[in-house]
Amino acid sequence: MMLLKLAWRNVFRHRRRTWITAAAISIGLGAMIMSNTMMNGMDTMASFNIINYETGHLEIFASGYYREEGMFPLDTIIDDPDALYRRIKDIRGIKGMTERVKFPARVSNGIDEFPVLGIGVDMRTESEVFETQQAIVSGTMINDPGQILVGTELTKLMGADTGTILTIITRDKHGTFNAYDFMVTGLINTTHPLFDGNAVIMDLDAAQELLALDKGVTEISLKLNKTGMVPEMKAKIQDTLGDEYEVYTFKELYASIFEVSGFKRLMQFMVALVVIVIAAVGIVNTMLMAVMERIPEIGTLKAMGFGNWEIIKMFLYEGGIIGVFGSALGCVYGLLVSLIMVFVGIDFSSMFDTAEMNYPIKFLLKGEIDPVMVCAVFLFGVVVSIIVTLWPVRRATRLRPVDALRHI
């Protein structure tokens, strides 16, 4: 206890030096918390958009379809979705199931023509899995096979609005070009760039007729009771269906997105770590100065019977106190900025307004704080501060009392 009191007094003997060193630590730690909050927000928003607009938690394909998914093969489809439903409907944990048909197409307003992703949806079960209806900002949901939903960004490009007639052009299962006219019944605005700028949503029956698929679908999307059930449910459904079908999780379907996210997280952590290393050098410098200034005091303590271990503990306490203040300061300012990210968000849209983004979020980014990460960052700062104190302390333990007392 006496050593702790001595350490406390020594730390605040030079208050300005102590606070500057603590502030240096706080910059790196705060950066760690802010980058983690931002990346958590990006991952959460991306997962939300993928699950609620594009894939659900799980997607089921006919065996072999996924290997060619980017080509949208219409000869490898689920021919009898009702039979598949009957096989998995009693599995506990499934909240909803719906059928979809996805296909490449072009949309024309009579003047301009743009490539789009056509999506045929089952209006009876769409709301069990996806939040398409909640994303409608103008007009109404589809209630007729001749109607479509179009994203707000796409309508800006085409000069379209509700009531506009657009032509969808695509190839059917047999390679024949088909062109059908549809009326825009609603505009959707999500935080998913694919839907707002590239997707045309139509009734499943219309899509099947357009592609000559009869009752076939390209995929069946499943919503689960909890996201944490995904790995377990994938295995269970795959075992039930056997090799005739393939089951994929939303993370597997968007593996590249989550890999990029992990790489960004690592790079941001490395940058923050470099700042921590610089701050650690500052702590070493501070403790070296403290040792040099207090050589006579160290000699006096040794002459009074203090051993090397007591001297080491005193300096470790000093490093720990600086670490606690620096870590606390870093956590406070990191959390304050993170709270702004959570409740207000950071708008990057002006930076990427003209860019075509493949990442499934728009750039009004809202963060998500991880309390465990905040605690880990605090402990990390304290531990680093204590560890880097060991090197300058070695000089203090090598001093003999007589030499230390003669030092001027």
Architecture label for domain 79-217: Beta Barrel (2.40)
Report d(CA 406, CA 300) in Å as an integer.
Answer: 10
Helices (H) and strands (E) in the chain, counts: 14, 12
Q: Which tens digit of pLDDT belongs to each residue from 143-202?
A: 999 999 999 889 988 889 999 999 999 999 988 999 999 999 999 988 787 788 889 999
Structure confidence at residue 16 as a pLDDT band (50, 70, 90): confident
Question: What's the pLDDT score for residue 93?
Answer: 93
Q: How far, in Å, CA of 320 to CA of 268, rounded?
A: 26
* Position 340 pLDDT exceeds 50: yes
Give residue 3's pLDDT band: very low, low, confident or very high (50, 70, 90): confident
Answer whether residue 56 shows pLDDT above 90. yes
Q: Which of 214-223, 270-279, 378-387 has the lowest mean pLDDT?
A: 270-279
- Taking the domains of the chain in order of start, what are their residue ranges? 2-49+257-406, 79-217
Q: Reply yes or no on whether the pLDDT at 326 is more than 50.
A: yes
Residue type at 300 in one-letter notation: T
The overall average pLDDT reported for the chain is: 84
pLDDT band at 249 (very low <50, low <70, confident <90, very high): very high
Neighbouring CB atoms inside 10 A of 137's CB total 11
Distance (Å) of CA 262 to CA 7, 40, 256, 259, 285: 41, 10, 10, 5, 35
Which residue from 335, 311, 328 is spatially nearest to 390, judged by alpha carbons?
A: 311
pLDDT over threshold 70, residue 348: no
Q: Among 150-159, 264-273, 285-294, which range has the highest average pLDDT?
A: 150-159
